[in-house]
Structure formats: structure tokens, C-alpha cells
Amino acid sequence: MPSTQEATFLKDSAEKAFEPRHRQIINYNIDKYDTAVQAGLPRFQHLENAKRKAHIIKWRVMENLDKLLPEFESNFLRKGGKVIWANDAEEARQEIWKIIEHADARTVVKSKSMTTEEIELNEFLEGKGVKTVETDLGEYIVQLLGQKPYHIVTPAMHLSLADIAALFHQHFGTSPDATAEELTLKARELLRDQYTAADVGITGGNFLIADTGSVAITENEGNARLTTTFPKIHIAIVGIEKIVPSLGDLDLFWPLLSTHGTGQRLTVYNSIIGPKQDHETDGPEEMYVVLLDNGRTDLLAQKDQRQGLYCIRCGACLNACPIYKNIGGHTYNTTYSGPIGSLITPHLQGMEEFKHLSYASSLCGKCSEVCPVKIDIHKMLLLNRRDAVNNKIVTQTEKLVWKGFTFAITRRRVIDFFGGKLKNFLLKGLFRKAWGKHRNLPQIAQKSFSQQWKEQHK
């Protein structure tokens, strides 16, 4: 029997793939990104060399994670900050709650952060009676809808302008025909007071810089800067894989991230943040960095698949993936969707529940082709499949089918014994449902290639 997650995935993806309006919106939005990215990539003089260099740096990071993380911690502590090591999501939530409870905080503003989505922080804090407001426009929109982000970079990619206008009309009484500019201005008006009223600001971090003990945040709206400036406490929640050795590495990673994500030379706001110093007038009184493991060291232990930790969350593989374009982001039911999510989620959340995501791929290789740090994603998905079989996380039916197939396909006499008519009958009887009602099964020739060859070359 398939896992609950797998059954839900199959049901939701079958529905979403044939929903015309969804296909229209997602393809329109991804096409806009594709056009911008294709215009941006030629700005690199030697793109392949840049990607190769980024790959090597991330490889060195993973090989020296046990040295770089303590280096970051030491430099961050020396500046007056505090570092919290969280083994899993529950530990991260509880440590964050201790900070908030000690400060008697009642309001939190957040900038866009996939790690906070990963540990389900919003739901946790709301359950504790703490008002939590997303300040990134896309995140704010999906928060109003009570949904999870649809895309790593663009949380509300699945919505049209008309959808968002109707949402704002329902909640705030704006015109149902409001323009994008009018909706943005309304969001700004609503969120401005939240920054100054909030007790705590929570962000993620695009990169941790080991040699300076700093957190690098890149964004387009300026909300992260406001989130880290006005509240008295700033908490940054960052995966342990996000570390880079030196400040100079941003010269490579920032352009790769922005161009592959949105086609920009550089995102509008790029901030390097550390604890507030005595001579500085702006910034929070306390700064914490939560270093989140939550399964990352389990993936690090997988020598073949640890490349998944190289990811800089640009979203390029999602935009390129034909599967993602058809079934969308919510069907994966994970924080990280698309090809990179299919690669890392089975290791972060359990192979038994999420092995099916490794099969949600055509293995066309487009994800590997567009990756700015040259993660061989489609090969990693095959290795995940291998591990699922080796660890016996497959159904008995699947085992028997492949055993029978292997027996037949390795014996020419068995293949030739069954005529084309019988083969087509067995194919229709055994694989019709798995192949899908929207596709026609291939027709097998009445005689095998071997038989035809013998007849023509007597």
C-alpha cells in the first residue's frame, strides 16, 4: 500500500495537472521568469566557470562544515550575538519560544524565510497567542489565504492579479479591480505600522559568512531590513548548509542567486547583518542565530546525495521542471517543492513517507542544466530510488512486478514466446491504471525485433 503522503500526492497531482486555469496562470508566470532569466544569464562572461566555481566552494563547505560552523559561531559571539544549535524543528521552536516568552513579546514580524516554513513556526507562535505577520508581499498574500508558499522564491505564483485583488477587496475593502501598484501601496500601508509595533523580528538567511560572523540577506522589497531594524530582538533561523567561508564569496553567489532566480543582475536589497555594536545607532538590542539541522546531517552522511545541500534556493529548477509546471507547488505537500524538494525531502523528513517524490520526475535533466551550483539533481533522484529499493521501502507488488520483468527481459526466449497480441493484452491489463487515463498505451509490434531480424536475414 502507498504511504498516506504518496496517496495524497497522486490524487492532488492528477486533479491539478488537468485544471486549465491553474495551468494558464502558472505557465504565464513561469514564462515571465524564463524570459527575464534568459536575458540576464548572458551578462556572465563565463557562466559555466562561475557555476563550476560555486560548486567547488559548496563542496569544500560540506567537507569542512565541522570547522566553518564553529568559526562562524566564534566570530558571531565575539560581536555580542547569541547562537542556538537546533537538532530538529521542535527544538528550534522551543528555543525561539524561550526568547519570545522571556521578552514577554506579543507581536512578531517576519521576512520571507523557508526555514521558518520548514519548522512551521507561524502555526506554533499563533498557538501560543503571539501575533505573527509576514511582511514579504507574496508571503503576506498566502498568509491571508491560510496557505503554504507555492514556490521557493515566489510564494503566490499560483495566483493571478484578479485573485489578489479579490482577496484584498474581501479583507480590506479595496477596489475589486485594483491595479498591482494599488495593491502594493495598500500592503505597504497595512504593514508599515507592524514594524514599529513588533517586539521581535524573525528572518531567515541566504548565507552565513564564517570569517565575519555575519548573516547575509537578499531581497527585493526592503521588508527584511525593516524587520531587522525596528524590533528590539532579531532572530535569524538558518540551515547549517547555508554557510560560506568568506565575505568575498558573496561576489559570486549573490549574482548567481539573483540572475537564476529572477533574471536580475543583483537583487534590490542585499544586507550583511551582525549584532548591533556600541557605536551603532540602528538595530536590535539582541540578535540570535538559530543554526538548524533538522535532517541536514542525515543528508550530509549520504555521500552520493549530499550535493542536495549545495542548493542556494534560487528556484531555477522549479521553473524548468515539466512536472512542477503541470502539478504546481502545493501538491508536493512539503516545504521545498520541485526537483530540489524531491531530492532533499526524503532525507529531511523520511524516505518511507516521501520516497514517491523521487519518482515525480521525467529525468529530462533540465533541473541539473539550470542549477547555478551544478547539482546533478536528476541523477540524485535516481540514487534516491536506489536507496528506497535497497532499504526495502517498496511494496510487495512492486517487488514481484520488477522481479518478473527482470526475469523476462533477460531471456530472449521468454520475450519471443509471448506474441505481440498477448503482450498488448497484458500491458493493458496490468498497466492501464498506472499509465493514466489521459494517455494511450504504446502498441507493441506483433513480432519481436529478434524475430523480424531472423526473418529478414535468413
pLDDT tens digits, 416-428:
877 777 888 878 8
Q: pLDDT tens digits for the chain (458 residues)?
A: 567 899 999 999 989 998 999 999 999 999 999 999 999 999 999 999 999 999 999 999 999 999 999 999 999 999 999 999 999 999 999 999 999 999 999 999 999 999 999 999 999 999 999 999 999 999 999 999 999 999 999 999 999 999 999 999 999 999 999 999 999 999 999 999 999 999 999 999 999 999 999 999 999 999 999 999 999 999 999 999 999 999 999 999 999 999 999 999 999 999 999 999 989 888 899 999 999 999 999 999 999 999 999 999 999 999 999 999 999 999 999 999 999 999 999 999 999 999 999 999 999 999 999 999 999 999 999 999 999 988 888 888 878 888 888 888 888 888 787 777 788 887 887 777 777 777 788 888 888 888 888 889 87
CB 365 within 8 A of CB 195: no
pLDDT per position as a tens digit, 20-63:
999 999 999 999 999 999 999 999 999 999 999 999 999 999 99
Which residues neighbour 452 within 8 Å (Cβ) at sequence distance 6 or greater? 445
Domains of the chain (ranges, CATH numbers) = 4-12+18-27+297-390 (1.10.1060), 44-294 (3.40.50.10420), 396-456 (no CATH)
Which residues neighbour 398 within 8 Å (Cβ) at sequence distance 6 or greater? none
CB 265 within 8 A of CB 40: yes
Using alpha carbons only, give the angle 233, 104, 286 rounded to the nearest 5 degrees: 20
CA 218 to chain CA centroid, Å, is 16
DSSP, residue by residue, 164-209: HHHHHHHHH---TT--HHHHHHHHHHHHHHHHHH-SEEEE--SEEE
Q: What is the model's pTM?
A: 0.91
